[in-house]
Amino acid sequence: MARMARQKSEGAAFYHLFNRAAGSPTDYPFEEGRNARRFIFLFEFYLRLYFCRLASFTLMGNHYHSVLYFECFRRLPRGELEQRARLRFGRQWRLKTDSWDLGRWQRFNRELFDVSCFMQHVNGEFAKWFNRRYGRRGPFWADRFKNPQLLDRQAVQSVILYTELNAVRAGLVKRPERYRWGSAYWRWANRKKELLIPLEELFPAEGDMDSFRLYRALLYHHGAVRTKENLGVIPAAIVRREQERGFAREGMLRRRLRFLTEGIAIGGQESVKALLERYREAGLYRRRKNPIPQLGGVFYTLREQRSHAFSPG
């Protein structure tokens, strides 16, 4: 049976990117430090090459999560394309691009804004490196990557928190900022600032709470992380607001929530409904007319059906 066509935004968008290594559930290739460092090196290299920005990241023993923002496609001048080609190919960039005609340069331009091309490069380069290092054959990744689109700020914030709570959820650390292969650690340690989207953009300050305090309060509340004495307590106003949203108790994001990786699109009811209507008007979507409620309506998703809901193409 043919695969469902991958759904991507035609404009700028946030995505929750996820992939898992092949093998048994007890195989943890990223537990070895060299493997983890190599994957993160490749991920950062392609972040610099592509027109995207990093909101969150966590590399676990056999899978990873990330939230990335991809810019809207625009035509780049030839000089800027050559700079990107130089970054991509290094000293061999002229040799690699010498036979490129105008159409190939235009395709390269489009690839620099494409989430699929980004993931193919990251996943493919790491798989080749891993197989060479261990004298291994066959696919490294268990399946094609997941890339649900995050349609509004609440969805973006919640998936950032979910991503950074992975190591807490797995029982590896008690606090997300203690896990060194994740963006919570980088934020606390003030590292990789040139790669991470500033918290001021992701969690705008509210009242007397600056962005970092708001982010920390939400992260701790949704992960049921106990605060230290010198950090104070989670503000009652934050707890009240999240309860009104539907997060009736602490630790809601400590659970494994499959819809956050397989929901195709995640957001409020109106944002998902608007996306559904656009797909139906374009003739891409055949079946579902209404968004699917998750967690009692805290989120809504558009997820893959048992039979193909999207037209091939």
Chain segment 168-213, per-residue pLDDT in tens: 999 999 999 999 999 999 999 999 999 999 999 999 998 888 999 9
pLDDT mean across residues, the chain: 89
Q: Check whether residue 53 and residue 181 sit in a common domain.
A: yes
How many domains does the chain fold into? 3
* Average pLDDT rounded to a whole number, residues 152-165: 96
Q: What is the pLDDT of residue 102?
A: 97
Q: Which residues pair with residue 66 across a beta bridge?
A: 17, 57
Q: Quick check: is 217 in a domain? A: yes
Whether the per-residue pLDDT at 260 is higher than 60: the answer is yes
Residue pair 223/176 in contact (Cβ under 8 Å)? The answer is yes
Q: Quick check: is 8 in a domain? A: no
Alpha carbons within 13 angstroms on the beta-carbon side of residue 192 total: 25
Q: Check whether residue 160 and residue 269 sit in a common domain.
A: no
Tell me the whole-structure pTM to 2 decimals: 0.90
Whether the per-residue pLDDT at 70 is higher than 70: the answer is yes
Q: Check whether residue 177 and residue 279 sit in a common domain.
A: no
Residue pair 14/156 in contact (Cβ under 8 Å)? The answer is yes
Q: Quick check: is 287 in a domain? A: yes
Q: Check whether residue 30 and residue 162 sit in a common domain.
A: yes
Task: State the residue range of the domain holding 293.
Answer: 265-302
Q: Check whether residue 92 and residue 154 sit in a common domain.
A: no
Q: Quick check: is 241 in a domain? A: yes
Q: What is the pLDDT of residue 5?
A: 57
C-alpha distances in Å from residue 226, one per residue of 156, 232, 275? 23, 10, 38
Q: Check whether residue 42 and residue 92 sit in a common domain.
A: no
Q: Check whether residue 139 and residue 184 sit in a common domain.
A: yes
Tally helices (H) and strands (E) across the chain: 13, 7
Q: What is the pLDDT of residue 67?
A: 98
Q: Check whether residue 161 and residue 248 sit in a common domain.
A: yes
